């Protein structure tokens, strides 16, 4: 045995990172998808003075937004403030966020030739603002032992915005392109994997202690057979490329509960669970040796405490105190969420899960 432990192999002390590794924690860690954003007056005040892309691209501003919910609620991890779509800009797509509408791409992909014109420049060049913001937040939160989470979109979810030019209800253009141009689909998905892998690795270099991959729309858009054929190979490539990245990787695939096993098979150290089925059901299907994150319905945060509390209890009872559970919402926090409800959620989860310290 070496006298001095290798710091790289030492167990982390941060509750969130311990849970990501399936290690016991003194209470259940909690953070919330979309924890920084429009439900916070402090965010809205900054947004009045700066547009979305300026907030994302200015390291000091993105760091400030990232820290807002940490200061306000004492969450156990900080997800870097950005969006899944800015990496598309470096590839050649003209992205904007339009108030009341959402993301808009002025030159969406409509042909195989459009795919071939997409670049794959390194994230160090195209995402320097976010990488700089991660460095600032990591420096700020390191002494408090609060980890920073980096993130990226999965290839199908990004392809849907690149092809539709914005949000969509039925994914008509995306699926038509996928079916009509399978070779171009393969080239598009491969380019997206290349860009996202490089970006996620760069976020770790910049100071991220964990990564989350958001596949928000593959499960909503596709049935199982198409998922297996047009999505699974690329998500599998993405997670395989991150296997040695040295930090836990969370696989959050929304809307896949009817074929969860296929999404889990793609990879990831932690599985993010959406709110459609009880956590107990999902964790049993995933297997209790794999850490999970979830899965409160974010709409429950809009209602009264008497309706919210049993739903929080259902998640915690579903986890049954096993190590490897990270409390989260089952999709992003909504704009109308009251800050006081978030505060109450965080303290309730802490109180209910505090485990009596036992001497070894």
Interacting residues with ligand CP3 (CB under 6 A): 33-38, 47, 52, 79, 81-85, 97, 102-103, 151, 167, 214, 216, 254, 332
CB 278 within 8 A of CB 318: yes
Find the catalytic residue in 27, 47, 187, 352: 47
Residues 6 or more apart whose Cβ sits within 8 Å of residue 86: 53, 56, 57, 95, 127, 130
Shortest Å, Cβ 32 to ligand CP3: 8
Q: What is residue 120's three-state secondary structure?
A: coil
Active site residue 199: no
Find the catalytic residue in 27, 38, 187, 322: 38
Q: Which C-beta is closer to ligand CP3: that of 85 or that of 178?
A: 85
Active site residue 83: yes
Q: Which C-beta is closer to ligand CP3: that of 98 or that of 320?
A: 98
Shortest Å, Cβ 181 to ligand CP3: 23
Q: Which C-beta is closer to ligand CP3: that of 22 or that of 349?
A: 349
> Cα–Cα distances in Å, from 58 out to 6, 33, 62, 186, 214?
36, 21, 6, 34, 23
* DSSP secondary structure code for residue 168 in this structure: -
**Phi-psi region for residue 287, left (φ > 0), alpha (ψ -120 to 50) or beta?**
left
Active site residue 57: no
Q: Exposed (0-12), middle (13-18) or buried (19+): which is 125, by Cβ within 10 Å?
A: exposed
Return the structure tokens found at 187. Answer: 């080239």
Find the catalytic residue in 76, 83, 198, 215: 83
Ordered DSSP codes for 3-24:
SSPPTTTSPP-SHHHHHHTT--
Shortest Å, Cβ 178 to ligand CP3: 18
Active site residue 6: no
Peptide bond into 7 cis (omega under 30): no
Shortest Å, Cβ 228 to ligand CP3: 22
Q: Which C-beta is closer to ligand CP3: that of 111 or that of 167?
A: 167
Q: How far apart are the first and last CA of the chain?
A: 21
Active site residue 243: no
Phi, psi of 103, rounded to the nearest 5 degrees: -70, 145
Shortest Å, Cβ 96 to ligand CP3: 11
Q: Which C-beta is closer to ligand CP3: that of 22 or that of 85?
A: 85
Shortest Å, Cβ 3 to ligand CP3: 42
Find the catalytic residue in 18, 43, 76, 161: 161
**Which of 160, 236, 188, 201 minimizes the C-alpha distance to 91?**
188
**Which of 322, 279, 270 minimizes the C-alpha distance to 297?**
279
**Which of 342, 346, 277, 343 minimizes the C-alpha distance to 314?**
277
Q: Which C-beta is closer to ligand CP3: that of 98 or that of 284?
A: 98
Q: What residues are labeled active site?
A: 34, 38, 47, 83, 161
């Amino acid at each position: 045995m070496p006298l001095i432990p290798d710091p790289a192999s030492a167990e982390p002390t941060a509750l969130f990172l311990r849970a990501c590794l399936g290690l016991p924690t003194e209470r259940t860690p909690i953070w919330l998808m979309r924890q920084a954003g429009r439900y916070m007056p402090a965010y809205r005040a900054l947004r009045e003075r700066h547009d979305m892309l300026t907030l994302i691209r200015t390291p000091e501003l993105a760091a400030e937004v990232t820290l807002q919910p940490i200061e306000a609620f004492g969450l156990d991890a900080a997800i870097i403030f950005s969006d899944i779509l800015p990496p598309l800009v470096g590839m050649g797509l003209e992205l904007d966020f339009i108030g009341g509408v959402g993301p808009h791409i002025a030159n969406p992909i409509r042909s195989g030739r459009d795919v071939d014109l997409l670049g794959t420049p390194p994230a160090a060049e195209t995402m320097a603002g976010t990488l700089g913001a991660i460095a600032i937040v990591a420096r700020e939160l390191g002494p408090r032992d609060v980890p920073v989470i980096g993130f990226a979109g999965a290839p199908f979810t990004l392809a849907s915005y690149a092809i539709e030019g914005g949000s969509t209800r039925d994914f008509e253009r995306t699926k038509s392109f996928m079916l009509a141009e399978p070779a171009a689909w393969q080239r598009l998905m491969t380019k997206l994997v290349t860009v996202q892998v490089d970006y996620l690795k760069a976020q770790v270099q910049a100071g991220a202690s964990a990564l989350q991959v958001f596949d928000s729309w593959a499960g909503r858009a596709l049935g199982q057979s198409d998922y297996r054929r047009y999505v699974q190979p690329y998500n599998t490539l993405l997670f395989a490329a991150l296997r040695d990245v040295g930090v836990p990787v969370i696989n959050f695939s929304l809307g896949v509960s009817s074929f969860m096993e296929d999404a889990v098979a793609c990879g990831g150290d932690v599985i993010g669970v959406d709110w459609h089925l009880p956590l107990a059901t999902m964790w049993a299907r995933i297997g209790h040796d794999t850490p999970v994150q979830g899965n409160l319905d974010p709409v429950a945060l809009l209602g009264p405490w008497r309706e919210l509390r049993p739903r929080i209890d259902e998640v915690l009872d579903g986890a049954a105190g096993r190590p490897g559970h990270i409390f989260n919402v089952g999709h992003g926090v909504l704009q109308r969420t009251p800050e006081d409800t978030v505060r109450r959620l965080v303290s309730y989860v802490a109180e209910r899960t505090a485990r009596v310290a036992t001497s070894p």
